[in-house]
Amino acid sequence: MAWQETHKEQSKDRILKSAAMLFTHHGFEKISIDQVMKDAELTRGAFYSHFSSKSDLYAQAISEAAIIASKRKPVNHPLNMKSFAQYYLSTKHRDNNNEQACPLAFLVSDINQQDNQVKKAYTKTLKAFITQAQSLSTNREETLQSVVLMIGGLALSRALDDKEFSNELLAACQKGVTSLSAEEDADVS
């Protein structure tokens, strides 16, 4: 028989998945514990059996959201930086409203307002993201630049009310990542 979650673990898992989705798309302040619990099909009173505070949930939800996002198909095992950036900086990812979105971009300026436990979870998640990107590159500095173009470009593109301009920004960042990769290939040759 396969491994089975206990009842408690199942509940915690549902809460975490709901929180990951809701927080990633709406930020910490716009989402209440009540909304998370309703989405997980539980009541508010049950929350504190699993998490010590809303902030505790947020920290864990960020890690969970990153895991969900990393399981997304085109990102799962990208062949190179260009194909990785092509998905990451897509309009689909920007407009994604109910699936696996990257909390690093969607929440970037939200983190500074939170406590240390949240910042720690975010930092760990970013480091893991960079490690993944580094496996598609050789130079760490260029990897960091590519990562900033991806996360920063996606975050900025989501803040704009001008779709054409937003698309232009995404395209420019894609080209930027590609250029950095190409330079690198040239160095190697």
Chain residues binding DNA by CB under 7 A are 7-8, 11, 31-35, 37, 42-50, 53-55
- Of the candidates 40, 102, 151, 184, which one interacts with a second copy according to CB under 8 A? 151
CA–CA–CA angle 102, 152, 15 (5° rounding): 25
CA–CA–CA angle 80, 84, 87 (5° rounding): 150
Instruction: Number of residues interacting with a second copy: please give it, by CB under 8 A.
Output: 43
Site string for a second copy, 92-131 (x = CB under 8 A): -------------xxxxxxxxx--x--xx-xx--xx----
**C-beta separation of 128 from 51 below 8 A:** no
- Residue 124's contacts (CB-CB under 8 Å, 6 or more residues apart) are 63
Of the candidates 87, 66, 81, 75, the residue with the CA atom closest to the CA atom of residue 146: 81
Structural tokens at position 64: 């969970």
Torsion of CA 69, 71, 77, 80, to 10 degrees: -10
In angstroms, what is the minimal distance from the CB of 188 to DNA? 50
Residue linked to tokens 């696996």: 100
* 49 binding partner (options DNA, a second copy, none; Cβ < 5 to 8 Å by kind): DNA
Check residue 156 for interaction with a second copy (CB under 8 A): yes
In angstroms, what is the minimal distance from the CB of 122 to a second copy? 5
What residue ranges bind a second copy (CB under 8 A)?
26-30, 105-113, 116, 119-120, 122-123, 126-127, 141, 144-145, 148-149, 151-153, 155-156, 158-162, 165, 168-169, 172-173, 175-176
